[in-house]
Amino acid sequence: MQFLTIQSPAKLNLHLRILRRRTDGYHDLVTIFQKISLGDTIRIQKTRNDFRLTTNCPGLETGENNLITKAYRLLQTKYPGLGGVSVRLHKRIPLGAGLGGGSSNAAHFLLGMKKLFNLRISKPELIRLGTRLGADVPFFLLEKPRAIAWGKGEKLLPLETRSRLWFLLLVTRQGLSTKKVYQNLRERVPPLALTKEKRIAIILCSFFETKRIREAVGLAENDLETSAFSLRPSIPKSIKALRTAGASFVLMSGSGSTVFAVSANRKEIVALAKNVKLRALSYRKLICHSLNN
């Protein structure tokens, strides 16, 4: 095999609680990750040279700061005789959107390299490598559509999903820095209890699986919203636009700037998309669905 093409899906955070600030600068959290049908395409081809990454996205760094490049360098360290590759990344996931595009790209590149070069690396080893690249990377390496995550996001409980959820995403080119959102976050005193928050996440996942969306509304939260709202006032305005149009479940994904509405019914999401008035907001609408087993 000389090349392969793989899909790299985005994710939504269907729930996100910040428990406490850690001494290493990260935060302990509990979240529900959900893969969605919006995604990028990665083509990896063997070459004689070292490494080359190109993309259709003019604003994307392709040098040593790109997570795909970093992933290749990590593999080079582990496998000194690793061959060269040319990588073409076709981006559809917006940058700085809270949709995990960079993490997904890095994870699926690692999975692709394992297959292309027949690397003898176990899933736990691969996840340890992924953790060095970013807190969201291990979820994408699981190759499961949904998971509850805690710690920095690297501790995972994968979940089986058969019910399809539909989403209306409001996305913008005005990306938001995850680092700045966390730096702007007020420290929680006292911290939340991990056991209780994991239990709530499990209940929420049960609601999503049985399509009890209205019951999930009262439990689902994103603790990063307040910080993101102060940095980007257009985010709460876009949430208001969804609610005004009739959406019951509305949340920001990750650290923003994407916001989304959830429904168990595609027709309901299509109707919502028609009703949402964005006016002067620099957002556009995307309809997508959850990925299942």
Chain centroid to CA 232 = 19
* DSSP string for 193-231: PHHHHHHHHHHHHHHHHTT-HHHHHTT--BTTHHHHHHH
Query: d(Cα 254, Cα 224) in Å, to the nearest integer?
Result: 7
* Inter-residue contact 55 to 66 (CB < 8 Å): no
Q: Which residues are catalytic?
A: 11, 136
CA-CA distance, 281 to 80, in Å (whole number)? Answer: 49
**Cα(259)–Cα(239) distance, rounded to whole angstroms?**
7
242, HSE (Cβ side, Cα atoms, 13 Å): 29
- The amino acid occupying position 58 is P
User: E-strand spans in the chain?
Assistant: 3-21, 27-47, 51-55, 84-90, 146-151, 155-159, 166-171, 249-252, 259-263, 284-289
> Cα 7 from chain centroid?
14
d(CA 221, CA 164): 21
